[in-house]
A and B are shown apart, each in its own frame.
Chain A
Amino acid sequence: MSTTTSTENTGLLNVLLPPFEKECGCKVDVIAVGTGKALKLGEAGDVDVVLVHARSLEDKFMANGFGVNRRDVMYNDFVIIGPANDPAHMKGAKTAVDALRRIAAAQAVFISRGDESGTHVKEKEIWSAAGINPAGRWYRSIGQGMGEAIMMATEERAYTLSDRGTYNAFAGPKTDLVILFEGEKGLFNPYGVIAVNPKKFPHVRYDLAMKFVDFITGPTGQAIIGQYQVAGKPVFFLYKAR
């Protein structure tokens, strides 16, 4: 299975996979990389199932026939974090767009993942909605994962957009940055699971892939996901039962 580094960083897979492996009598090898690479692995037939959170890229993946049976699994959300003293005064912002506008106006240092990950794609969407093309010494595109971005933001007393799960894992011991904006619908981050198309790649374990898809969208898997916490806080939200 290919998935993203942020997903792995939440630690969810460590509690989700063992029960599944027991149930199906199989073993899941997880390859955690950037969203782009995770999907590329699926396009090459190097994995059997893909678990990512980049809807537009997932749709393209499906449209090109690389995957079948896409299902919604869960969603988490993004938060904007920064130093407690909030030099850009973005704390009172009503929308994410407004928050980023204030940061740009103050030319406060902002760390962007810059790696075409789900987080980065979301960040670009907000800048675009704000009508801003971020550029200048204050906007640092680092081409690395969420963990590295948070560490750099901590070091440089900067702002960044993070998924809640990774932030929770780092908050406390590793970073003293705080959540300065959260809760807006536009910051929701939906996860999708997709089986790699057996018609394109006959060698993939389609049967096992579908077992996994059914597991994590079924009652057992969903219960595990819903109860999962990082540092005493829930990380993922479930879709209401249809």
Chain B
Amino acid sequence: MGFIAESFRTALSLIFSADQDVFAAVRTSVGVAAWSVLLAAVFGIPVGLGVGVNQFPLKRVVIVVLNSLMAMPTVVLGLLVYGLVSRQGPLGGRGLLFTPNAMVIGQTLLAVPIVANYTLSAIKGADSRIVPTALTLGAGSLRSMMQLTREVRFGIMAAVIAGFGRVISEVGVAMMLGGNIRWYTRTMTTAIALETSKGEFAFGLALGIILMVVSFSINILLTFMQESHQP
């Protein structure tokens, strides 16, 4: 139990001494997570919108599939992407494996189902009069979709926040595709895994505390942005 108190002390000393390793890991964690969430939003929000708004055969099937993808085990996804980008794989030529870019690819794929599903929920809960109202006022499909998006922006922001939470806390994909290379692809989560494997529990927890502080701060910031735009 004593090592929890020790961890807090260690965490503070790491922050105040501006430990380079820790700062590098934080930068990598946040950077990779930010890009992943951005790309996940670019792909996931339109998917959620498209499925939510339109009627088409097999719509139910698509929704079930989207839901199930959220439960994809990270190690399975990591293996699939590993197979694609390693030298023997189809995308192997670009030397992607063990770089932050590979991590972004993996984590984007993780986050897209989450963003899409939350967006889909937001659309489902939206007033059914929004699109017909926009259409009858002379808007085309694109403008109507944009108005719908604007009306449910609270829910869409929640989608982004959920996606961010997923990727910044994940370790399986980051380890497998990034390789935990010091200064380069080491994130807070893979660093914690390393310290744990060395038996350095207190240090590992100290890193965990720092990660949670960073993660909570970003979430608070995003939630603040979400609420300041509340209608």
Q: Are B199 and A143 in contact (CB under 8 A)?
A: no
> How does the 8 Å CB contact mask read for B149-182 relative to A, with 1 for contact and 0 for none?
0000000000000000000000000010001111
B109 CB to nearest A CB, Å: 20
Q: Are B97 and A155 in contact (CB under 8 A)?
A: yes
Q: Does B17 belong to the interface (CB within 8 Å)?
A: no
We find that the number of chain B residues with CB closer than 8 angstroms to chain A is 21
Residue with the greatest number of chain B CB neighbours at <10 A, chosen from A33, A152, A155, A156: A155
Docked complex Cα distance between A36 and B97 (Å): 28
Q: Which of B98, B181, B199 contacts A141 (CB 8 A)?
A: B181
Q: Are B199 and A33 in contact (CB under 8 A)?
A: yes
Q: Which of B87, B184, B198 contacts A116 (CB 8 A)?
A: B198
Q: Does B197 belong to the interface (CB within 8 Å)?
A: yes
Docked complex Cα distance between A143 and B201 (Å): 15
Docked complex Cα distance between A148 and B197 (Å): 14
Given contacts A155-B86, A155-B97, A155-B98, contact A140 B184 (CB under 8 A): yes
> How does the 8 Å CB contact mask read for A144-180 relative to B, with 1 for contact and 0 for none?
1100100010011000000000000000000000000
Q: Are B199 and A36 in contact (CB under 8 A)?
A: yes
Q: Are B98 and A156 in contact (CB under 8 A)?
A: yes
Within 8 A of B (CB), among A114-162: 114-116, 137, 140-145, 148, 152, 155-156
Given contacts A34-B199, A36-B199, A155-B87, contact A115 B182 (CB under 8 A): no
Residue with the greatest number of chain B CB neighbours at <10 A, chosen from A33, A40, A142: A142
Q: Are A140 and B198 in contact (CB under 8 A)?
A: no
Closest A residue to B201 by beta carbon equals A40
Closest A residue to B97 by beta carbon equals A155
B61 CB to nearest A CB, Å: 38
Q: Does B190 belong to the interface (CB within 8 Å)?
A: yes
Chain B residues, Cβ within 8 Å of A152: 98, 179
Closest B residue to A137 by beta carbon equals B184
Closest B residue to A2 by beta carbon equals B199
Q: Are B194 and A115 in contact (CB under 8 A)?
A: yes
Q: Does A73 belong to the interface (CB within 8 Å)?
A: no
Docked complex Cα distance between A77 and B154 (Å): 61
Chain A residues, Cβ within 8 Å of B87: 155
Docked complex Cα distance between A116 and B193 (Å): 14
Q: Are A143 and B182 in contact (CB under 8 A)?
A: yes
Q: Does A39 belong to the interface (CB within 8 Å)?
A: yes
Q: Does A41 belong to the interface (CB within 8 Å)?
A: yes
B190 CB to nearest A CB, Å: 7
Docked complex Cα distance between A33 and B197 (Å): 7
> How does the 8 Å CB contact mask read for B176-207 relative to A, with 1 for contact and 0 for none?
00011110101000110110111111000000
Within 8 A of A (CB), among B46-97: 86-87, 97
Q: Does A55 belong to the interface (CB within 8 Å)?
A: no
Q: Which residues of A contact B (CB under 8 A)?
A: 33-34, 36-41, 114-116, 137, 140-145, 148, 152, 155-156
Closest 6 CB pairs of A and B: A40-B199, A37-B199, A143-B194, A36-B198, A141-B182, A34-B197
17 pairs, A vs B, C-beta closer than 8 Å: A33-B197, A34-B197, A37-B196, A37-B197, A37-B198, A39-B199, A114-B182, A114-B194, A137-B184, A142-B182, A143-B186, A143-B191, A152-B179, A155-B86, A155-B87, A155-B97, A155-B98
